[in-house]
C-alpha cells in the first residue's frame, strides 16, 4: 500500500508541475492513443464503433498539433525564464514531444492502411 501511495504522489507531483491545461492535453492524447483503431478496420457509423473508427482518427491530428504547438511555446518561453521555470518548461517540452511521438506511432498503421 505504501508503494501505491508513493507512486500516486510522484504522478500527482509530475502533473502538478506540468499544470492543469498541459496535463489535460497529455491525458487527452493518451486517451486518443488508447482508442486507436487497428489498420483495415471497417468504418462504423453508429454506436461505440463510431467513436473508435471515425471520431478518434479525426481528433488525433488535432491533439498532435496541440502538443507540437505547446512544445514550441514552451521552447519560446524558456528564453526569458529563470532557472526554475526553465526546468519546468524543459520537463513539459520533453513530455509533450514524447507523447507526440507515441501518438504518431499509434496512428501510423491506421493512416498507412487508409493510403493503401
Q: Which of 115, 95, 110, 114 is nearest to 56 (CA)?
A: 110
Domains of the chain by residue range: 2-115
- Judged by phi (left if over 0) then psi (alpha if -120 to 50, else beta), residue 19 lies in left
75: number of CA atoms within 13 Å, CB side?
Answer: 11
113 φ/ψ angles, rounded to the nearest 5 degrees: -65, -30
Residue range 14-73, pLDDT digits in tens: 888 888 999 999 999 999 999 999 888 888 999 888 999 999 999 999 999 999 999 999
7: number of CA atoms within 13 Å, CB side?
Answer: 4
DSSP run (H or E) holding 67: helix 56-78
What is the per-residue pLDDT for 65?
A: 97
Residue 97 in this model has a pLDDT that exceeds 90: yes
| Alpha-carbon dihedral angle through residues 42, 46, 47, 49, given to the nearest 10 degrees | 20
Amino acid at each position: 500500500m505504501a508503494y501505491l501511495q508513493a507512486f500516486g504522489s510522484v504522478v500527482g507531483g509530475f502533473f502538478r508541475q506540468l499544470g492543469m491545461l498541459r496535463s489535460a492535453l497529455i491525458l487527452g492524447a493518451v486517451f486518443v492513443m488508447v482508442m486507436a483503431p487497428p489498420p483495415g478496420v471497417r468504418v462504423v457509423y453508429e454506436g461505440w464503433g463510431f467513436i473508435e473508427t471515425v471520431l478518434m482518427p479525426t481528433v488525433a491530428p488535432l491533439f498532435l498539433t496541440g502538443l507540437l504547438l505547446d512544445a514550441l511555446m514552451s521552447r519560446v518561453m524558456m528564453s526569458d525564464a529563470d532557472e526554475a521555470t526553465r526546468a519546468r518548461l524543459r520537463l513539459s517540452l520533453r513530455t509533450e514531444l514524447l507523447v507526440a511521438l507515441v501518438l504518431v506511432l499509434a496512428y501510423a498503421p491506421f493512416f498507412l492502411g487508409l493510403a493503401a
